[in-house]
Chain A
């Protein structure tokens, strides 16, 4: 593989559908990191991922995966990436032994030992048909398959959605283990922000087809905060400092994007740290400015 700094580089990605536009999406995922891709349902996460995988033809923009163009070098790129979807894409009538035989002929670097190593580790039966697997087992199987061909980039679309916390934790541990190799990178779309709170290095928020925030998670969490004040004090907050404000009977909770500056500007105001979930909710409501 060639040298690259960012495992994923997206510049000006645009895709127009009737009623929805993925509008000029740009962000990078640094090599060796895990990027959380957050947004509500219909925000454009899956469209972006499908465009990355060239399942969707983009209208405009440029996408580089592992330093290569995702269209021109499609098959070279796809040798080194793995995709994990929210649903198992393997026929219910297959079993792990058959799947190993299929995928080892497709991926040059497929490792049967690694695959069955993960199968054993996840306590997944080798000869049981996938149709008889539970949702958690199916997801573990998909991850086992994704990690068995020495993929440098793991792209996951809502992979942990619908899983119980125990399985989710187990899977997140596997991801952290995978990232021990500095060559490996993960892009993980999810609306379960607690998972990304745990493991993500970087975060990109998308809403209505537009990227709202993208950067290192710690920077985003450090810069954002929830300013709590009374209704009277709320009137004194400059509109440009407000992303959106949740009003209640007692006062207002305001999301600010420059916590340090706001602390200086509104001395005496309490500014609590924001979680990724808070940031997502306040950004989603930015159009309304005030909401309850």
Chain B
């Protein structure tokens, strides 16, 4: 299995390097913006760092978590194109090991993304002269758990052989979920506006945030507890599905 893992890392090494480059440039630029709020041209402008820092860590986390797995997305398609998929059946390796190697690589990339996201939070908080935010780290961990959904690419690509087809299927499957999210999001905003007007007389950004934050914290706390179970369940299901798909390919 070591050989299979090595192969996957070898094939994605260029995308990995590019992702790391983008990540470091982004974090460096964001850090400079943070620093400029007290030692540069943004000094003296109120509320900049409070608005900027929570966004900067989030985007850095997204770059790290999404970017690290990005290069691995099309590996199954490339395996089909290069006939490796066929050749792998001639190797003394079981389907479970072949799939495990892909999941291990993907898992390592996700963990590396998690580490980079946390490192970005540490760097940005230092640059912003703010304490490290544990809610931010909680958010990163929840995003990381949600990213396990990306493992679905492995069985989907095994089934459809092609990234475009797999992406279409994912979008089709996710369309009702996204529509529902938008619908409830809109309903929730309306609720927050009504609550803000009722409690504080008017619905401004500040009053809305006051209404919104307790709910957000609650959801985050629940998410933090649920996340590991969600990730484990998703990984188990996708692993089983991938092995089944690889066996089915022995037509």
Q: Do A and B bind each other?
A: yes
Contact between A106 and B84, CB atoms less than 8 A apart: no
Could you tell me if A89 and B83 are in contact, using CB atoms closer than 8 angstroms?
yes
In the complex, what's the smallest C-beta–C-beta distance from A69 to chain B, in angstroms? Answer: 15
Q: Contact between A57 and B250 (Cβ–Cβ < 8 Å)?
A: yes
Give the shortest distance, in Å, between B84 (CB) and chain A (any CB): 5
Contacts of A54 in B (CB 8 A): 89, 250
Decide yes or no: A53 and B83 within 8 Å by CB, A102-B4, A104-B3 being known contacts: no
B3 engages A83 (CB within 8 Å): no
Binary CB contact string for chain A from 94 to 132 against chain B (1 if under 8 A, 0 otherwise): 100010011111111000000000000000000000000
A79 CB → nearest B CB, Å: 4
Q: How far is the CA of A106 from the CA of B3 in the complex (A)?
A: 6
Judge whether B82 and A55 touch: CB under 8 Å: no
Known pairs A89-B86, A90-B84; A75 contacts B250 (CB<8 A): no
Q: Could you tell me the distance in whole angstroms from the C-beta of A106 to the nearest C-beta in chain B?
A: 4
Interface string of A52-79 (1 = CB under 8 A from B): 0111110000000000000000011011
- Residues of chain A within 8 A of B7, CB atoms compared: 91, 94, 98, 102
Given A89-B83, A101-B6: A53 in contact with B90 (beta carbons within 8 A): yes
Residues of B21-70 whose CB lies within 8 A of A: none
Cβ of A88 and Cβ of B83 under 8 Å apart? yes
Known A55-B250, A94-B11; contact A101-B82, beta-carbon cutoff 8 A: no
Chain A residues touching B, range: 20 to 34
Q: Which residues of B contact A76 (CB under 8 A)?
A: 92
User: Chain B: which residue is nearest A83 at the CB level?
Assistant: B90
- Contact (A106, B250) CB under 8 Å given A83-B87, A101-B3, A101-B6: no
Contacting B at CB under 8 A, from A13-63, are 53-57
Chain B residues in 8 Å Cβ range of A79: 92
Q: Is the CB of B89 within 8 A of A53?
A: yes
B134 in the interface, Cβ–Cβ < 8 Å?
A: no
B115 → A minimal CB distance (Å): 26
Interface contact B4-A106, CB-CB below 8 Å = yes
A62 to chain B, nearest CB (A): 17
Q: Of B3, B11, B94, which is in contact with the most chain A CB atoms at under 10 Å from its CB? A: B3
Q: Is the CB of B10 within 8 A of A89?
A: no
- Interface mask (B165-189 → A, CB under 8 Å = 1, otherwise 0): 0000000000000000000000000
Interfacial chain B residues near A92, Cβ < 8 Å: 82
CA A90 – CA B91 in complex, angstroms?
13
B11 touches A89 (CB 8 A): no
Q: Is the CB of A85 within 8 A of B3?
A: no
Contact (Cβ within 8 A) A89 B3: no
CB contact list, B70-128 vs A, under 8 A: 78-79, 82-84, 86-87, 89-94
Other-chain contact of A105, B2, B10, B250, B251 (Cβ < 8 Å): B2
Query: Which residues of A lie under 8 Å from residue B251 when comparing CB positions?
Result: 56-57
Residues of chain B contacted by A94 (CB below 8 angstroms): 7, 10-11
**Chain B contacts of A78 at CB under 8 A?**
90-92
Beta-carbon contacts of B1-18 to A below 8 Å, as 1s and 0s?
Answer: 111101100110000000
Provide the bound-state CA to CA distance between A236 and B90, in Å: 53
CB–CB A56/B250 < 8 A: yes
Given A55-B250, A83-B87, A94-B11, decide whether A75 and B93 contact each other with a Cβ distance below 8 A. Answer: yes
Pair A102/B3 contact, Cβ less than 8 Å: yes
For the complex formed, measure the closest distance between the CB of A240 and the CB atoms of chain B, giving whole angstroms: 40
Cβ-defined partner of B78 (8 Å) among A82, A91, A106: A91
Can you name the residue of chain A whose Cβ is closest to the Cβ of B8? Answer: A102
A107 vs B1: C-alpha distance when bound (angstroms): 10
Complex interface: chain A residues within 8 A of B83 (CB): 85, 87-89
Q: Which residues of B contact A81 (CB under 8 A)?
A: 90
The residues of B that contact A103 with a CB separation of less than 8 Å are: 3
Which of B78, B83, B90, B250: most chain A CB closer than 10 A? Answer: B90
Q: List 30 A-B contacts (CB under 8 A).
A: A53-B90, A54-B250, A55-B90, A56-B250, A56-B251, A57-B250, A57-B251, A75-B92, A75-B93, A82-B90, A83-B87, A85-B83, A85-B86, A88-B83, A89-B84, A89-B86, A89-B87, A90-B82, A91-B78, A91-B79, A94-B11, A98-B6, A101-B10, A102-B3, A102-B4, A102-B6, A105-B2, A106-B3, A107-B91, A107-B92
**B residues bordering A, Cβ < 8 Å?**
1-4, 6-7, 10-11, 78-79, 82-84, 86-87, 89-94, 250-251
- 10 closest pairs, A vs B, by CB? A105-B3, A89-B87, A89-B83, A78-B92, A83-B90, A105-B2, A102-B3, A106-B3, A91-B82, A79-B92
Further contacts, 4 of them, CB under 8 A, given A94-B11, A101-B10, A102-B7: A83-B87, A91-B11, A93-B11, A94-B7
